[in-house]
Structure 1
């Protein structure tokens, strides 16, 4: 490598790839605008010729104009009905292409290695602006004046915009005026694929009522609307699509079924319940819990990676295999242990306990200090893991593995662990281990049926006490 050169980092390469994609999209937008402008000029010339005495009475279709008038744009973006009525009286041209100024700024390449900070610009129309902002009265006015519902200079139709921005009244108006419920955007998406928010449910209902393809596929990933609903954590949408005949186990290009997609989507603590309900609905409709993607990852692998304990318990209750290995040789237990330090608020200890109670493989004892280091902020997870062993060889490496701040925050628990260096496990714990070994992977199904006090059942199922003994 020469002195004046440098190596691109993966982050820099990804950034350059994103910039290249954005440049290509903007080039396409400019070409689209240019074609509209050229088309408009030619048609206007023909229109002027048609107005001559010798011209036939039938008029050719009026092409979209290019509007740069800030008064018109301001009225559209603010939904000023009175001004729009004045600007668009009967007989005026309403099909126009608008290239709004402003928006987000980003660095753009200009050639010769020069970059400049430039506003992003995207072609739009009056119909798109009013539909996306929910100005239904303004939208109705434009439609009455003959606005073209299929005009898509920026790649999306107005119906795409209304659905993406959760504007059901505007979506209904467009559909009533002949908008195509299966129109495909420049990115290969139908309007149903853009219903990704809970507030878009009514848009989905209108689309299906007007003939939207319930199993329509995206161009790039081959996703169905059910994939989109599952990935977005939308239980009401999933129920709606299944009622309309959505295929519950149809895989996309990556081998993901809707159930795989729901389990694989990153989820924060506030979204766990939504994704659980989606999985519950899909499994209730017959989704296969054993389906693997291209990397042989099952829904259980993915649910463990995202540390959603309710989904993990649901999958296990419906027969998910606890020890399936993916192409990387990792079982679901590996996935949850790698995620513990990032998912403390998700109760990862519940996931580990459920896996162990269903017969999951355990951590190699020599790797327990490393596990303690990475899971130190979740002592309950460590407690569940340690209680799956009848004997533990606690050494100085265990003490060194726990960060001082974690030790101070959970001193009583870690003191009980380190005390095992001088003493063996209690007789009560050894009895628990013997029973669990005898039951093997049947602990979760047999123990609840035993005629034992509840606290003993919980003890056998590795309930938490805040210490080890």
Structure 2
């Protein structure tokens, strides 16, 4: 071995070989990109109507100075780079693109190029550089050019840039352009900040019931999935179909109920469901797994939506393909959603005549739901007799028992004491009324505290 040299390990040599292969693939991809661009332009020319003065096809630009001016929104630089008489109808091909480390197997990592064709309009539209966009449009930039698979209008809507969206539409951008992912600009309006973009799209002819290619979602599905009440109200005002089903069998109502919701999102999703039901959405529509909106609202623990669905005729004992009723769905997730007040849902379901848990499974329910004593209280008060054993005691962890000692002592004391006569009378009346408890009890000529007792109000103990 000569001085100053060193030995490459087999792994290092293999890594170098992979990097060399990667560079070769990158060169090949650049050729493919160029071929793709040529094919794209041929197709565009074939689709374009004949005009007396056909515009020149866009040129490919790799100029870093132009790219820097676009990405920084430097209008003065763009005015110098695109003087009057020049064209801004360009396709930007970034020099090399971004690079990232990716695993290649056998414990090796290699640098890989990320490169996507774009246009000056895409860059400025996504960043809200309206003045730069206006200059580019004056210099002949094509509003519907989509070399990377999306138009500049998709880009402005995705990044919630209403002024850019409006400007593109004024200059003839297609409000119903479909990206290579099969979505229209209206489907990309997925956040509250995108409302103004959605308004402009509809004003310029966006299809209110346009479908995505992959899932067959309408814009109303998208608004419902993302808990967007303002978008929902807007789409309903424009005549959105309230009960269209997508490929999974979900209507917008099902879609809203099926989304995982944190505490701060509960009210937004409730408002969406309220609007949909106000426009006649059907509460009984089920998805491919026979899961109704009530199943989904219970699984995601939104008490207000559950109350709303029940008030609109949802059935508490409908079974999905797995043979589970809504009560099963809520009990499975109580331990994860204590802050959502799952006890409200359990109470509402039982007051509407829900089937109860098999008594032999109550220790298991105690184990999973012990962190929500109110849920346990409501559930246990639906039974006239309970057989409390040592298994019940073992189901509650010492930490939870210590935190809710008074309540669990009242539960475990039932091993030696029968239920009170008052409770037995409550159970008898509830059994007689069945699923009419929630309707009949409020109408009885009884003191309020007795009505609440019959409706399983929480007391912090059982007796």
Aligned residue number for residue 315 of structure 1:
309
Aligned residue number for residue 15 of structure 1:
none
Aligned residue number for residue 296 of structure 2:
302
By how many angstroms is 1:62 displaced?
A: 2.0
By how many angstroms is 1:168 displaced?
A: 0.7
State how far apart, in whole Å, the 2-side matches of 1:310 and 1:84 are: 54
Please give the secondary structure, in 2, of the residue aligned with 1:66: strand
Distance 1:30 1:408, change over 3 A: farther
Aligned residue number for residue 129 of structure 1:
123
Aligned residue number for residue 388 of structure 1:
382
Distance 1:100 1:372, change over 3 A: farther
Aligned residue number for residue 33 of structure 2:
33
State how far apart, in whole Å, the 1-side matches of 2:141 and 2:36 are: 16
Distance 1:278 1:243, change over 3 A: same
By how many angstroms is 1:207 displaced?
A: 0.7
Please give the secondary structure, in 2, of the residue aligned with 1:360: coil
Compute the RMSD of aligned alpha carbons: 2.4
Aligned residue number for residue 82 of structure 2:
88
Distance 1:396 1:111, change over 3 A: closer
Aligned residue number for residue 378 of structure 1:
372
Aligned residue number for residue 236 of structure 1:
230
By how many angstroms is 1:99 displaced?
A: 3.7
By how many angstroms is 1:254 displaced?
A: 1.0
Distance 1:41 1:379, change over 3 A: closer
Aligned residue number for residue 65 of structure 1:
59
Please give the secondary structure, in 2, of the residue aligned with 1:420: helix
By how many angstroms is 1:111 displaced?
A: 9.7
Query: Are positions 1:353 and 2:347 aligned together?
Result: yes
By how many angstroms is 1:385 displaced?
A: 0.4
CA contact (8 A) 1:64 1:96 kept: yes
The correspondence for 1:259, drawn from 249, 253, 258, is: 253
Between 1:280-289 and 1:441-450, the stretch displaced more is 441-450
Deviations 1:133-165, CA, capped at 9 Å, x for gaps: 111111111111110001111111000111111
**Which structure 2 residues correspond to residues 53-202 of structure 1 after superposition, within 5 A?**
61-100=55-94, 108=102, 115-118=109-112, 120-202=114-196
CA contact (8 A) 2:89 2:139 kept: no
Deviations 1:237-294, CA, capped at 9 Å, x for gaps: 1111111111111111111111011101111111000000000000000000000111
State how far apart, in whole Å, the 2-side matches of 1:385 and 1:41 are: 67
Please give the secondary structure, in 2, of the residue aligned with 1:278: helix
Distance 1:112 1:185, change over 3 A: farther
**Which structure 2 residues correspond to residues 293-442 of structure 1 after superposition, within 5 A?**
293-442=287-436
CA contact (8 A) 1:29 1:153 kept: no
By how many angstroms is 1:236 displaced?
A: 1.1
Aligned residue number for residue 53 of structure 1:
none
CA contact (8 A) 1:230 1:259 kept: yes
By how many angstroms is 1:424 displaced?
A: 1.0
By how many angstroms is 1:114 displaced?
A: 6.3
By how many angstroms is 1:38 displaced?
A: 4.7
State how far apart, in whole Å, the 2-side matches of 1:444 and 1:100 are: 65
State how far apart, in whole Å, the 2-side matches of 1:267 and 1:104 are: 35
Please give the secondary structure, in 2, of the residue aligned with 1:62: coil
Please give the secondary structure, in 1, of the residue aligned with 2:323: coil
Please give the secondary structure, in 1, of the residue aligned with 2:110: strand
State how far apart, in whole Å, the 1-side matches of 2:428 and 2:442 are: 17
Query: Are positions 1:280 and 2:274 aligned together?
Result: yes
Please give the secondary structure, in 1, of the residue aligned with 2:387: coil
Deviations 1:81-140, CA, capped at 9 Å, x for gaps: 111211221222312222446988655477999652435332211101111111111111
Please give the secondary structure, in 1, of the residue aligned with 2:86: coil
Q: Structure 1: 5+ residue runs without aligned partners?
A: 1-25, 43-57
Please give the secondary structure, in 1, of the residue aligned with 2:88: coil
Distance 1:405 1:110, change over 3 A: closer
Distance 1:293 1:28, change over 3 A: farther
Please give the secondary structure, in 2, of the residue aligned with 1:156: coil
TM-score norm. by structure 1 comes to 0.87
Please give the secondary structure, in 2, of the residue aligned with 1:166: coil
Aligned residue number for residue 209 of structure 1:
203
Q: Structure 2: 5+ residue runs without aligned partners?
A: 1-25, 43-51
CA contact (8 A) 1:92 1:145 kept: yes
Deviations 1:357-387, CA, capped at 9 Å, x for gaps: 0000100011001001111111111111011
CA contact (8 A) 2:97 2:116 kept: no
